[in-house]
Structure 1
């Protein structure tokens, strides 16, 4: 159940970002794929909603896995 909630949170944080490019689905899938373990490890105590998971991940850049850091950078680059 927690895994489903984490995947939903990853999708929600991308929707909240306001990105509207053709590659949104790719970015969204990469966040789900590469940040799932980071969310569980670093942000498991964070409540879902309001961009709190994204804020949590961004607050711990030195602790993120390489894949998650790259996925978050791709989201940032896409937003401009």
Structure 2
């Protein structure tokens, strides 16, 4: 089938990995990917794909940034703080 479509040789496992990587890149949770792939534990999926989870890294960074913003707003400033 690959030759007929003029595609390079690819293993079924490579397609499975690509599918999981694309799901993760499009916001599907690691837990859902675990279920989709049939991994017996979440740890297996996380060990293989966590380095690709850029969405979670960005999201956690934004959460941290928001926490610092709230702390800055809550801190008293100016002359009122000195009194």
TM over 0.5: no
Q: Relative CO higher for 1 or 2, CA cutoff 8 Å, sep ≥ 6?
A: 1
What TM-score do the two structures reach when normalised by structure 2?
A: 0.26
* CA radius of gyration, larger in: 2
